[in-house]
């Protein structure tokens, strides 16, 4: 997994799986670099072949951490390019209501930003 922060966006790439084996380390790594000037987290899921319930829980925990830290208005967590299997898991868990999801080669699916603080 690679992390790169630039212009207020934290980009996560190279994530091959998000499951019980690495979910805690994934969440801890992202929380460690979160700051108030962060405007978005973009997680590229194009290489992710395996997501289990613990991995989905890590995504929800990341969302909750951002809310607790009261990230700035308009802050978003975007899940980009999910594989078909991962997309199905996100939809079954109804996480497409929490996160902006950009399908491979497409525009965001129109869901609202992950966090919209007033």
Identify the residue whose tokens are 């869901």: 111
H helices of 7-118, in order, are 23-33, 53-68, 84-92
Rounded CA separation 59/31 (Å): 11
What is the DSSP track for 54-73? HHHHHHHHHHHHHHHTTPPT
Structure confidence at residue 27 (pLDDT): 94
Q: Give 68's pLDDT tier (boundaries 50, 70, 90).
A: confident
Structure confidence at residue 84 (pLDDT): 93
Residue 36 has pLDDT above 60, yes or no: yes
CATH no., domain 2-102 = 3.30.750.24
Structure confidence at residue 20 (pLDDT): 96
Q: What is the pLDDT averaged over residues 27-56?
A: 92
Burial of 16 (0-12, 13-18, 19+ CB in 10 A): exposed
Residue 67 has pLDDT above 90, yes or no: no
- Sheet-wide strand order for 2-6: 2-6, 9-13, 40-44, 76-80, 100-102
Strands 50-51, 100-102: parallel, antiparallel or unpaired by DSSP?
unpaired
Q: Where are the domains of the chain?
A: 2-102
Residue 44 has pLDDT above 70, yes or no: yes
């Amino acid at each position: 997994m690679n992390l790169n922060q630039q212009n207020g966006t934290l980009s996560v790439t190279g994530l091959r799986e998000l499951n019980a084996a690495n979910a805690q380390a994934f969440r801890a790594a992202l929380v460690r670099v979160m700051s108030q000037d962060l405007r978005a987290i973009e997680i590229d899921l194009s290489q992710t072949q395996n997501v289990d319930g613990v991995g989905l829980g890590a995504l929800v925990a990341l969302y909750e951490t951002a809310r607790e830290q009261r990230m700035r208005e308009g802050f978003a967590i975007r899940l980009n390019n999910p594989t078909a299997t991962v997309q199905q898991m996100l939809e079954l868990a109804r996480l497409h209501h929490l996160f902006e999801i950009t399908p491979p080669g497409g525009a965001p699916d129109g869901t609202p930003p992950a966090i919209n603080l007033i």
